């Protein structure tokens, strides 16, 4: 992933973070986690600083007297421009990962606000992700149990000998505490998983 795209992604995270006022501490950890998958520790910290600089710039801009609707419109244009740049460089699988991280990011504090939803929907559309797949990914990330409703693209692994829900594939694992949910993103033949439970040593 090039420096130009990483900078664009930090700006995208910052724009979406400013969709609602207030600090998003957990959101910063989502950005950090995303960067750790791409970079070494030194570069992770450099890009976290860059992300925070973008946030500060947006905070200064929001203090000006132009209306919130105008700011929203300007930010929507920026999101589209950034997505256009990303589309030129990233493969579709990478775009799915970016979308997942953005949904985690906006959902990390108090759920997704209407403005945040508008931004991530714009990103999804720009990345040519179908409405159904976007809804399924969003529900998978948002759900406290990691289970989108009405999908055959989900595998649930838990300690229950019988499946508790119809339409979801199930594997019994006797000693598993909690559960593992695995979502198949069919458009790119990619698997995303969540472990929901208490980690034990």
How many folded domains does the chain comprise?
2
Residues 116 and 42 in one domain: yes
pLDDT cut 70: percent of the chain above it? 84
35-83 per-position pLDDT tens digit: 998 889 889 999 999 999 988 887 776 656 555 666 677 788 889 999 9
Residues 63 and 22 in one domain: yes
pLDDT confidence tier of residue 200, bands split at 50, 70 and 90: low
Residues 109 and 157 in one domain: no
The pLDDT of 29-39, averaged and rounded, is 88
pLDDT confidence tier of residue 99, bands split at 50, 70 and 90: very high
130-166 per-position pLDDT tens digit: 999 999 999 888 887 666 666 778 888 888 888 777 7
Query: Could you tell me if residue 72 is inside a domain?
Result: yes
169-179 per-position pLDDT tens digit: 889 998 888 88
Residues 103 and 162 in one domain: no
Residues 36 and 110 in one domain: yes
82: left (phi over 0), alpha (psi -120 to 50) or beta: alpha
The pLDDT of 4-9, averaged and rounded, is 89
* Mean pLDDT, rounded, of the chain: 83
Residues 164 and 82 in one domain: no
Residues 118 and 151 in one domain: no
CB contact burial 121-139 (16+ within 10 A = b; e otherwise): ebbbebbebeeebbbbbbb
Residues 125 and 150 in one domain: no
Residues 112 and 164 in one domain: no
Residues 92 and 187 in one domain: no
Which structural domain, as residue segments, surrounds residue 71? 3-129
**101 token code pair:** 């991280």
Residues 52 and 90 in one domain: yes
Query: Could you tell me if residue 141 is inside a domain?
Result: no
């Amino acid at each position: 992933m090039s420096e130009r795209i990483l900078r664009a992604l930090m700006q995208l995270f910052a724009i979406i973070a400013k969709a609602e006022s207030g600090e998003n501490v957990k959101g910063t950890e989502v950005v950090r986690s995303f960067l750790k998958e791409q970079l070494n520790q030194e570069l992770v910290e450099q890009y976290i600083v860059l992300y925070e600089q973008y946030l500060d710039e947006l905070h200064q801009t929001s203090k000006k007297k132009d209306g919130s609707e105008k700011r929203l419109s300007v930010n929507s244009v920026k999101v589209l421009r950034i997505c256009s740049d990303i589309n030129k460089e990233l493969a579709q699988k990478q775009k799915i990962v970016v979308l997942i991280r953005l949904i985690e990011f906006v959902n990390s504090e108090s759920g997704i606000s209407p403005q945040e939803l508008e931004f991530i929907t714009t990103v999804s559309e720009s990345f040519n992700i179908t409405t159904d797949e976007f809804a399924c990914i969003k529900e998978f990330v948002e759900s406290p149990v990691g289970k989108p409703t009405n999908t055959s693209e989900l595998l649930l692994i838990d300690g229950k000998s019988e499946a508790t829900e119809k339409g979801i594939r199930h594997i019994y694992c006797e000693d598993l505490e909690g559960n593992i949910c695995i979502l198949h993103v069919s458009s790119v033949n990619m698997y995303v998983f969540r472990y929901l439970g208490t980690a034990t040593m």
